[in-house]
Every structure is written in structure tokens, then in C-alpha cells.
Structure 1
């Protein structure tokens, strides 16, 4: 195993799993899963966590999502995810609590692409309230400028959650469209999976996430003030 990185076999396994998504196949190839997926991820994730701590200046924590799919409410009964997904977010009193959903860094390693993102999929109630208050006061220019910068850098912005601004929000406000979001995140793809092979994986992703740091910091500051 290459330190802090993945292997060609990692992506080959994910591709093969996509073509053979069954318990019998997975059980027969579990040693390959351990060697080419689980073990590299267990080394990569803490190294990436440390790099994001240096990038943001915040203590970070992280999680890896399970390879087993939750089938309880899904019509698709294939048992396994065909990607490796992780999330990294800050530690601290203002980022804790049942309703807290701190701004995070998201990563999806797939058979033929690397998708990464930054932001908050769903604001906590206090942060959503603070966000809407900023917009209602006409102070959405900072958010709008951040999103414009992200788009000019090739990032996609998450779609609005609502068809219209929430009830009670003045529709004539300059940034009423931004009020349709219950969360905000930006997403991009790395050009090829080979950038995560070998010892350059952490550096490649740190550099990929670096342009999103002002966007992440804006919402980290908002949550800390809320």
C-alpha cells in the first residue's frame, strides 16, 4: 500500500463492484476490498484530516460512510455503495449539538471520477435564521460574490431547496433567490482518478479544496457567531 494514497486496484475494485453488486461477489472478493479500499482509506483519512486542520486553522474531525447501503427506504436493493465517501468538519463548542450541521468538506471517490465539495448540505435552524436575516437586511452581496467566485473557478452550486423564498421573506429583496436555499455547497470534479494514486493524494485534494476556503470560512464564522 502506498502511504496516504490509493492504488489503481482501488478504482478497479469499485468498477468491478458496480458490475457485480451482490453479497456473493463481495464476500468472494472481501480480501481485495480490505487491501485496496479499507486499508488505504484508513491511512488516507487521518492524513487528510490533518491537512485540512492546517488549511483551515480549525481542529477537524471526519467520518467515512459505510460500504453497505441503507436499503430500508430505497427501491434500489443493491447491497453496496460503489464509491468511497468521507466528510470532514470542524470541532468546537459552536459546531456541536443535536441541531448543528457545520460547514464541511465532502469527498466521493468513484470508479472513474473524484467528486469533492465544500459547504453545508442543510443549515442548522439557528444558522438558517441568521442566514435569512442577513439576506433580508440586504447583506447578501458577500454571499453572492463568494458564489460568483466559486462558479468562475468551475464549481457547481447546489440547487435551491425551495421553489420560492420562504413564507414571510420579502420577495422584493435583492437576494430573495438566495433565500430559497436551506443549505449551500459547491462541487467540482478532479480531472482524473490518478491524482489520488500514491503519496500525492493528500496534496492534490488540499490544493483542490483551497479555492473554497473563503466560502467555507464565511459559514464557519456565521455558525460561530450564532
Structure 2
């Protein structure tokens, strides 16, 4: 007799309720009194991360990446912040080789109630050197990037680009450059938002995997551009 597949684990309403309550009671005394609720929420998060790692395994080099490598701590770093609230109001994880500290462009998943959850990826707070590489590639060979981010499937799932941009053109580029909008970008990050209903759905991990696969070509393009040495820039013939 063929064994039934294990049921898919996901988030329950209790996790979103805990996060809402945490916003109203963001102090150590309340958190420690409600530690079992946080532990239950973190267990659900880890179960979802495990499913995502398994689902992305055939497409990403994640063999040595564990769940704990991917999950962000809920504690905030308040050393240099005026906001002294000790805890984040969300749960989050990042999927990349080795987890959240891969150092490469990875997939970020943010869980926050009231329809504020999302999956995102892309160029965010790049180093000056990487930003210069991005602009040079846009100037020399923009077709590959535009084929990715203007694809219908991509645009339907990630309809809007986020991030900081210059008000004028960066130095060294003419103001009438045909790719002025991309060249002005200091960040080019795409997000897909999830409703609370979607987060609580039985197939939420599958939806995260779907989102990762849709934005993967853009992440691969950035990772190659930023971290793989090229002998010379690619130019159009």
C-alpha cells in the first residue's frame, strides 16, 4: 500500500495574532511571558523554510544550507538606533547558498500580518562598485536584463520596481540616454505581496517557491554581474 504524503505545514492564525500583539507589547517582559507563543510561531516558520529549501533544491545550490542558516532573529539591533523597541514586528528568512549571510543576491521572505507579507529579491543597497557594474551593463547590453524584467510572467507577478533612484542622470551618462530610467536606479528590487489568507493557505510554501523561480533569472543575472569576473563587457553587435 502506497504511503500518503506528509501534510504540508504552514502558518496558523495564531502566528499572525502573536505578531499583532507584539506590536502593542514590544518589551522584554511581555515577550518572555509569551515565549511559548513565539516558539510556536518560529516552529511554523522553520517548517515553511524547510519546505522551500526542499522545493528549490533542484534549482539552487542549497545542499549545505540549513533552516537555521536562513531564519532571521526576531531581536532588533538597537545599538545605533533611536528606536529602542527590542523586537521586530515580523518573521523573515532569506534563501541563498549558506542562508541569509550568503553575500549574494538571494530571496527574502517577510511575514507580517494585515497583508504586509511579501517575497522580494534584487539589487538593494549595492556597493558603489556593484552599482557601477550595473550601470555599465545597462549602458553596454541592456537587452538581457530587459528580456527578464519585462517578461509577461515576471511583470504580472512582480509588477513594480522598488528602491532609491537619482533625480538626475548619474555622472558620465548623457541625459538623453535611451535607458535613462534604469541608469537612474540606485536600487532595483522587486516584491510580490501576499494577503493574510495566502499566508495561511496550505500551499503557501509552494507559492514562495513559485515566486523564487519567477525572479531567479534576475537574481542569476545580478549574481553573475556582481560576483563572476568577465574578461570584457558584453556589447551588442
Q: Shorter-chain TM-score: which interval?
A: 0.7 to 0.9
For residues 143-165 of structure 1, give each alpha carbon's deviation from its aligned partner in whole angstroms, at most 9, with x where no partner exists: 23433334444532123343333
Contact 1:196 1:204 in 2 (8 A): no
Distance 2:122 2:137 in 1: 18
Does 1:69 find its partner at 2:71?
Answer: no
Taking a change above 3 Å as real, the CA distance of residues 154 and 3 of structure 1, as seen in their structure-2 partners, is closer
Normalised by the length of structure 1, the TM-score is: 0.80
When you count helix as a share of all residues, which structure comes out higher?
1
Q: Pairwise mapping of residues 35-184 of structure 1 onto structure 2 (< 5 A)?
A: 35=40, 37-54=41-58, 56-59=59-62, 61=65, 62-90=69-97, 101-113=103-115, 114-124=117-127, 126-137=129-140, 139-149=141-151, 150-184=154-188
Report the equivalent of 1:197.
200
Contact 1:4 1:198 in 2 (8 A): no
Q: Give the C-alpha shift of residue 171 in structure 1.
A: 3.1
Q: Could you say which structure has the larger radius of gyration?
A: 2
Report the equivalent of 1:23.
28
Q: State which of 218, 223, 233 in structure 2 corresponds to 1:220.
A: 223
Normalised by the length of structure 2, the TM-score is: 0.76
Distance 1:88 1:73 in 2: 27
Larger RCO: 1 or 2 (CA < 8 Å, sep 6+): 1
Distance 1:140 1:171 in 2: 17
Contact 2:157 2:192 in 1 (8 A): no
RMSD, matched Cα? 2.7
Distance 1:182 1:58 in 2: 28
Contact 1:164 1:177 in 2 (8 A): no
Taking a change above 3 Å as real, the CA distance of residues 14 and 212 of structure 1, as seen in their structure-2 partners, is same
Secondary structure (helix, strand or coil) at the match of 1:117 reads strand
Structure 1: gaps (5+ residues): none
Q: Give the C-alpha shift of residue 33 in structure 1.
A: 0.9
Q: Which runs of 4+ in 1 moved over 4 A?
A: none
